[in-house]
């Protein structure tokens, strides 16, 4: 456990929760950052905007910063076999190291989080160059994942000190911002990690899904959605549930070698255009069976989009009391069946596609079976 629970009956001296303003960036540790950046540029339409490495005075790693809309990804690879970055890649494959959170005060955010039970991994410190200063701190969360607090109010450069501009256009596919990031944790630990986000970061429980909600004839999982009530940063937490066979969450945990970020959901205002462009660029998606569309019933009534186009692109449709959403999930981005992306468009709905769970997980189970992991 990367945190200690606070006795809230005697919490008079405990600081208020960190004040967050959004997701600053997500950093992935990968085996080959240049190759991964090329893939994200040409398949997902990201612009490469900055580079850090030996040429900028950073000796132990190479990093590329990619941007589309307000989505910012940092892809970092080790320069040698003996670093913590190399060990992360050896153990997990390509995966998320940090979900970095924007704040107006990285010092107070860190101090509040630690006072509320978090384990600190980077005390507040300053990064500085001719473009200004950035204050950074970090705490641990599940597995080897961390949350960095990023304060960049006094910085006018590209990303951070140690980076230089590296402008290569990706053309864009209409991705606008990070809707949510999803974590997978071991069976029996979801409640503890939901408590972490509530007690340490002040997140609320936004939605809960039991194994009756997310199940097929073979496998099941449980999920709780936590959300910062101010910034709307959203972190669903999944754990496997007992089933006849291994769930997709257990497969992730086995191949990732522990808890970590399962997927990053990217928002678009026009999922038809975005998904069509991504498919044209070679992005592979999980495909639901065509019978899914025959069984939609009233969930597809009154949508603004062309239904035949959605069906052709295999986009999933769900509805709740607030509206509807459209979503589609990529296949895993690497050879290990771990990290993937979601493309999501919201038309009023605040949900997470509960009505699509069965079709989605049957598609995942089909791929699990092909890998011999179901």
Chunked into runs of 10 residues, the chain (374 residues) has average pLDDT values of 66 79 98 98 98 96 98 98 97 98 98 97 97 98 98 96 96 98 96 96 89 59 92 95 74 96 98 98 89 82 94 92 94 95 96 69 62 66
Q: Beta 204-209 vs 260-268: how paired, if at all? A: unpaired
CA distances, 327 to each of 119, 124, 148, 201, 241 (Å)? 35, 38, 28, 28, 24
At 360 the pLDDT is: 58
- Cα–Cα distance measured from residue 232 to residue 112, given in angstroms and rounded to the nearest whole number: 19
At 151 the pLDDT is: 98
- Cα–Cα distance measured from residue 216 to residue 218, given in angstroms and rounded to the nearest whole number: 5
In terms of Cα–Cα distance, which of 189, 217, 175 is closest to 70? 175
In terms of Cα–Cα distance, which of 95, 85, 91, 148 is closest to 118? 148
* Sequence spans of domains, the chain: 8-168, 175-371
At 215 the pLDDT is: 54
At 248 the pLDDT is: 82
Helix (H, G, I), strand (E, B) or coil at 151: strand
Alpha-helical (H) ranges within the chain are 33-44, 84-92, 106-115, 190-199, 248-256, 271-280, 291-294, 307-313, 357-371
Reading the block at residue 244, the tokens are: 């006849």
Domains 8-168 and 175-371 share a fold: yes
The CATH number for 8-168, chosen from 3.40.50.300, 3.90.25.10, 3.30.420.40, 3.10.180.10, is 3.10.180.10
The CATH class of the 175-371 domain is: alpha beta
């Amino acid at each position: 456990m990367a945190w200690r629970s606070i006795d809230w009956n005697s919490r008079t001296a405990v600081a208020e929760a960190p004040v967050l303003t959004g997701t600053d960036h997500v950093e992935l540790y990968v085996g080959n950052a240049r190759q991964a950046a090329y893939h994200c540029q040409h398949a997902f339409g990201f612009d490469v905007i900055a580079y850090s490495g030996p040429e900028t005075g950073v000796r132990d790693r190479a990093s590329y910063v990619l941007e589309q809309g307000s989505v910012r990804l940092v892809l970092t690879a080790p320069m040698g076999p003996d670093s913590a970055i190399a060990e992360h890649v050896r153990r997990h494959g390509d995966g998320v190291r940090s979900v970095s959170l924007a704040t107006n005060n990285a010092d107070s955010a860190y101090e509040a989080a630690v006072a509320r039970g978090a384990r600190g991994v980077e005390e507040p410190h300053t990064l500085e160059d001719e473009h200004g200063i950035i204050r950074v701190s970090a705490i641990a969360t599940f597995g080897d994942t961390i949350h960095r607090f990023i304060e960049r109010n006094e910085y006018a450069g590209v990303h951070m000190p140690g980076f230089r501009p590296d402008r290569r256009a990706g053309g864009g596919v209409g991705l606008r911002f990070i809707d949510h990031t999803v974590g997978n944790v071991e069976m029996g630990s979801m409640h503890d990690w939901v408590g972490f986000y509530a007690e340490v970061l002040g997140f609320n429980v936004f939605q809960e899904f039991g194994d009756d909600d997310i199940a097929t004839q073979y496998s099941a999982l449980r999920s709780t959605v936590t959300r910062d009530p101010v910034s709307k940063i959203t972190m669903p937490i999944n754990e496997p549930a007992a089933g006849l066979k291994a769930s997709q969450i257990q497969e992730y945990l086995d191949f990732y070698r522990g808890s970590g970020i399962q997927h990053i959901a990217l928002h678009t205002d026009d999922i038809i255009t975005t998904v069509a462009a991504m498919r044209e660029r070679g992005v592979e998606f999980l495909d639901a069976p065509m019978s899914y569309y025959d069984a939609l019933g009233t969930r597809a009534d009154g949508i603004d989009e062309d239904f035949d186009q959605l069906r052709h692109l295999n986009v999933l449709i769900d509805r709740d009391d607030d509206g509807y959403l459209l979503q589609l999930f990529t296949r895993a981005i690497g050879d290990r069946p771990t990290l993937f992306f979601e493309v999501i468009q919201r038309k009023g709905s605040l949900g997470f596609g509960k009505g699509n769970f069965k079709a989605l997980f049957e598609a995942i189970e089909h791929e699990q079976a092909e890998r011999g992991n179901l």
